[in-house]
Amino acid sequence: MLHERLEPIYEVVVERNHGEVEFHQAVREVLESIGPVLAKHPEYAEHKVIERLCEPERQIVFRVPWEDDRGEVHINRGFRIEFNSALGPYKGGLRFHPSVYQGIVKFLGFEQVFKNALSGLPIGGGKGGADFDPKGRSDREIMRFCQSYMTELHRHIGEYTDVPAGDAGVGGREIGYLFGQYKRISNRYESGVLTGKELAYGGARVRTEATGYGCAFFVQEMLAARGDSFEGKRVVVSGSGNVAIYTMEKVHQLGGIVVACSDSDGYVHDEQGIDVELVKQLKEVERGRIGDYAQRLRGRFLRGRRVWEVPCEVAMPSATQNEINGADAVTLVRNGCIAVGEGANMPCTPEAVRAFQEAGIAFGPGKAANAGGVATSALEMQQNASRDSWSFEFSEHRLEEIMRDVHARCHDTAAEYGMPGNYVAGANIAGFTRVADAMLGLGLI
């Protein structure tokens, strides 16, 4: 339920952003948590901090023309939402996927503001991308698209202004092409303008693993707060991309057993534990389908089925938004799930979140649980600024420290506001108050 003073704010958001349902959902989820904050901090309402937070500082939409290998010209639409810079330069990934439109990018940017605030690092929030489908495209086609995209984007970014990174459809290959074009146009080796780079040209160790590792660390902290651990737990991870792969890798290192993962075709179920190295080979090298796993090794592939039907103690949705609905949540609870960590951005519908919370499950929302990726991006910026390079062990240690701190902020803030164990409220309030205080300090801008 929305606080009576927040209802009209939400109505204005819906009215001003027609059809952007994901953005509406993200805003409502935050507003439902921060009602108690207004009683403690009336200055936020007086200075209309909430209304200002719900309106991006800048929204950029542009044409991206490019030519495929047959010489046919294609036109895509590019986006960059520079949402809030109260804490530092805009920071957030680029997503290349046919589903990308203004509402998706805006929801991701809004979430990024709070996620970045929770990290405790000096970075604001933004997001970008294009409705381009990299699936089935050659390396040269990907390169031409990235170069065209950066030809426009370069005028809006910079290491002290806006620092993009990767997201779905944008990995090390794409970041390399984007950075190469930026360097060519700007005539500057400005390493800190993009993160997620390869190690050979300014990347940071653990950046590839960071979101997945960080999510596993966060769930580990939630379990520890209940006197439990990953040890011997059956874990289901949706997706088989970067986040899913490194979530699985770290879960195995922490003693859990990942028994299923998926892609858009269906899921593979392996009770002996998913072989992460084989998944890496299939997805990162061969760019194949998860169905090939069962043919190569063991287990069953179930085409067109939902991975959430597999019994588990821990569920880690790591694919896309709204992938767990209310019915899936009920199934997970019925099958003995005790913890959920969102590796993707907003992968659980509001109905699913309610079902988990009513069942007393430890639920880690994406803006907290998957903050490891952007936190390590900020560490990459730090290394670029000092012309330094840290070891894998030191970088992973810093990531674990940050995720432990993120968990503590969420856990302690929820308790402070009378909602112990409610990580959704804790994350939203802790992130909101940090950004709101910075906005008040900067004046009416």
Contacts of residue 197, defined as CB under 8 A and 6 or more positions apart, other chains included, come to 172, 175, 176, 179, 191, 203, 204, 207, 380
For 431: left if phi > 0, alpha if psi spans -120 to 50, otherwise beta; the answer is alpha
Alpha carbons within 13 A on the beta-carbon side of 280: 10
Helix (H) or strand (E) run with residue 41 in it? none
SS percent in the chain: helix, strand, coil, step 5? 50, 15, 35
Among 91, 106, 115, 127, the active-site one is: 127
Strands (E), 161-299: 162-166, 234-237, 257-263, 266-269
Distance CA 26, CA 109 (A): 10
Strands 125-130 and 90-96: parallel
Measure the CA angle with vertex 421, ends 420 and 423; round to 5°.
Answer: 115
Instruction: State the Cα–Cα distance between residues 272 and 257, nearest whole angstrom.
Output: 8
Give bridge partners of residue 356 from the DSSP assignment: none
256 and 314 Cβ atoms separated by less than 8 Å: yes
283 catalytically annotated: no
Instruction: Tell me how long the chain is.
Output: 445
Task: Name the phi and psi angles at 124, rounded to 5.
Answer: -85, -170
Q: Helices then strands (H, E): number in the chain?
A: 18, 12
Give the residue numbers annotated as catalytic, written as ranges: 127
